[in-house]
Amino acid sequence: MSRLVVVSNRVAPIDEGKQQAGGLAVAMAEAMQAAGGLWLGWSGEVAETPDPEPRVATSGRLTYATLDLSQQDLDEYYNGFANSTLWPLFHYRLGLTSFSRRTYDGYRRVNARFADALLPLLRPDDRIWVHDYHLIPLGEELRRRGAGQRMGFFLHTPFPAPELLVALPRHREIVRSLCAYDVVGFQTDHDVRAFANYTQIEGGGHAEPIGPEGCRIAAFGSTVLVRSFPISIDTMALSSLAEANANSETTERLVDSLVGRRLIIGVDRLDYSKGIPQRFEAFQQLLEDHPEYRGQVSFLQIAPPTRSDVLEYQQIRRALESLAGYVNGRLAEFDWVPIRYLNNGFGRKTLAGFYRAANVGFVTPLRDGMNLVAKEYVACQDPVDPGVLVLSRFAGAARELKAPLIVNPFDIEGTAEALHTALSMPVEERRDRHADLMAVLTRNDIDAWRQAFVDALTGPPVPA
Ligand code: F6P
């Protein structure tokens, strides 16, 4: 069987005791441990003169190859084009999107460096799977260097509508790079449609539908298979972890601290795409519209800071500090604080126990590729007495999961009403909704997701 080669900006830590690096790295670690193979990415380190050769280490069936970045690389590629241009643009935040030729050149330069580092490690029958917006041009760079292997790309974020994408000065180059892959995967049918629309409008392309989830697109001189592959979680493993941690010491400390109050939980990287300010406002609205909840419900928001060199992330952090302080200052009582706002992250076991203890999972991004927290919250519930998921219609997960309470996070009053519905929902309805959600999550778990993509990647070359 041919080897799977994965390339992503972040690589899951080799040392299992270390804190995980985020949704993509966790999901891929779970998928890759089953399959084995080679995984290339950024080491997370900055070096004065980075070694062009990757450091190689092996753990079980997986070989890791990691590269350091220079400070200039980090500024231009990661903080610059990836997280100050593509990230806000792909999340529909044109007002936060900045563009400069300098950061774009840095982005291309780092992609070329990744290609130079990967090329000598490749075997002729490898299948290469590139992940996320940091590495869109990698496939094209590898092709330029003569790599003929099957190559696929999966975008973990949303893909924006063409009207937005054209605001990016180099939009054609970005989409042309995507067309260098054999397979391009997106989270949802919306993203597939946006990509197909762009290639037709801007690239003179032609799309031929293949099944309900995808199409074959001919554009920019290539033919590419484009499909949705909604990413998932290790549903059964997480469910067991939550059951095992239902009464762990940390979970009990949380439950004891509530002294019989109910709990709403939110867990997100501290990112402006996650809609956390709107969430605080909706909770405040709930307490205003339904004063009976005052002193009876606590909202725990866990939000570890991320990308803190980028100005917009510093701004959202300050805004949330001020909003949490405002709400608590207005509504707290001497023995109850409405919002428990934490900037530290927790390990998977602890989070699994916290999710299980929470009556409501509050997941309201303004725009999100998928949102694995939504799926994790569901998997961690006790099927006999499950909590309720309140989910934004703008999370990719809402295209797949039909049984949560779906909200528009821009509608603060509507979201507050959904919190009330969740907190007052009879147990029979909670069980029915939870069973529906679990049926989807056991059918499409992380293994099914990986297998579906790898099968598409292994398929016959797309005829030109
Ligand atoms: O797709 C977005 C994403 O790559 C997630 O998969 C991941 O959780 C997060 O961003 C990590 O962000 P960063 O590597 O910038 O900390």
* pLDDT-derived band at 460, boundaries 50, 70, 90: low
Q: In this structure, are strands 214-219 and 206-210 parallel, antiparallel, or unpaired?
A: antiparallel
Q: What is the pLDDT of residue 175?
A: 97
Q: Write out pLDDT tens, residues 378-388.
A: 999 999 999 99
Look at residue 358 in the predicted model and tell me its pLDDT.
98
- Give 71-117 as a DSSP string: HHHIIIIIIIIIIIIIHHHHTT-GGG----HHHHHHHHHHHHHHHHH
Work out the mean pLDDT of the chain and round it to a whole number.
95
pLDDT attached to residue 148? 96
Q: DSSP readout, 110-176?
A: HHHHHHHHHGGG--TT-EEEEESGGGTTHHHHHHHTT--SEEEEE--S----HHHHTTSTTHHHHHH
Active site residue 290: no
Cβ neighbours of 14 (radius 10 Å) = 15
Nearest alpha-carbon partner for 90 in 129, 132, 130, 131: 132
All structural domains of the chain, each given as residue ranges with its CATH number in brackets, are 4-232+446-458 (3.40.50.2000), 235-443 (3.40.50.2000)
pLDDT for the residue 29: 79
How far apart CA 379 and CA 361 sit, in angstroms, is 11
Q: First-to-last CA distance in the chain?
A: 26
Catalytic residue among 156, 234, 271, 445: 156
| Cα 126 to middle of ligand 1, angstroms | 26
Binding site membership of 307 for ligand 1 (Cβ less than 6 Å): yes
State in Å: Cα 388 to ligand 1 middle: 26
For residue 163, is pLDDT > 60? yes
Q: In sequence order, which residues have a C-beta less than 8 Å from that of residue 7 and are 6 or more positions away?
A: 39, 40, 41, 114, 118, 128, 129, 130, 131, 135, 138
CA of 23 to the centre of ligand 1 (A): 6
Q: What is the pLDDT at residue 28?
A: 79
305 CA to middle of ligand 1, Å?
Answer: 12
**Local confidence band at 20 (pLDDT 50, 70, 90 cut-offs):** low
404-414: per-residue pLDDT in tens?
999 999 999 99
Neighbour count for residue 106 (Cβ, 10 Å): 23
Predicted local confidence at residue 462, as pLDDT:
47
Q: What is the mean pLDDT of residues 178-206?
A: 95
pTM for the predicted model, two decimal places: 0.96
| Pocket-testing residue among 9, 24, 267, 308, ligand 1, by greatest number of atoms within 8 A of Cβ | 24
- Please, which pLDDT band fits residue 461 given cuts at 50, 70 and 90? low
Task: Identify the residue whose tokens are 């003169």.
Answer: 49
* Rounded percentage of the chain residues whose pLDDT exceeds 90: 90
Q: How far is CA 238 from the centre of its chain?
A: 17
Which of the pair, 20 or 369, is modelled with greater confidence? 369
Q: What's the rounded Cα separation, in Å, for the pair 177 and 221?
A: 11
**Residue 10 beta carbon below 6 angstroms from any ligand 1 atom:** yes
Considering only CA atoms, which residue is closest to atom 9 of ligand 1?
A: 22
Q: Is the CB of 23 under 6 A from ligand 1?
A: yes
Summarised one tens digit per residue, pLDDT across range 310-345 is: 999 999 999 999 999 999 999 999 999 999 999 999
Could you tell me the two tokens for 419?
A: 């919190």
| C-alpha 102 – ligand 1 centre gap (Å) | 23
Distance CA 6, CA 244 (A): 32
The 10 Å Cβ neighbour count of residue 172 is 15
Strand pairing partners for 7? Answer: 40, 130
- The mean pLDDT value for 200-219 works out to 90
Question: Ligand 1: which atom is nearest the Cα of residue 82?
Answer: 15
Mean pLDDT of 86-94: 98
Q: Is 368 a catalytic residue?
A: yes
Q: Does the pLDDT at position 162 exceed 70? A: yes
Q: Who has greater pLDDT, 203 or 139?
A: 139
Express each pLDDT in 6-17 by its tens digit: 999 999 776 655
Q: Residue 218 above 90 pLDDT?
A: yes
Residue 312 and residue 245: Cα distance in Å, rounded?
36
Mean pLDDT calculated for residue range 175-190: 97
pLDDT at 57: 94
Residue 128 has pLDDT above 80, yes or no: yes
Query: Which residue in the list 234, 268, 368, 445 is annotated as catalytic?
Result: 368
Q: What is the pLDDT of residues 40-71, one digit of tens each?
A: 999 999 999 999 999 999 988 899 999 999 99
| Integer CA distances (angstroms), 16 to 21, 60, 239, 347, in order | 11, 12, 20, 11
Structure-block tokens of residue 190: 């919306």
Q: Are 405 and 390 in contact (CB under 8 A)?
A: yes
Give the whole-number percent of the chain exceeding pLDDT 70. Answer: 96
Q: Is ligand 1 within 6 A of the CB of residue 156?
A: yes
H/E stretch holding 226 reads strand 222-228
The span from the CA of 348 to the CA of 437, in Å, is: 21
Q: Identify which of 156, 233, 367 to mutate to test ligand 1's pocket (most ligand atoms within 8 A of the CB).
A: 156
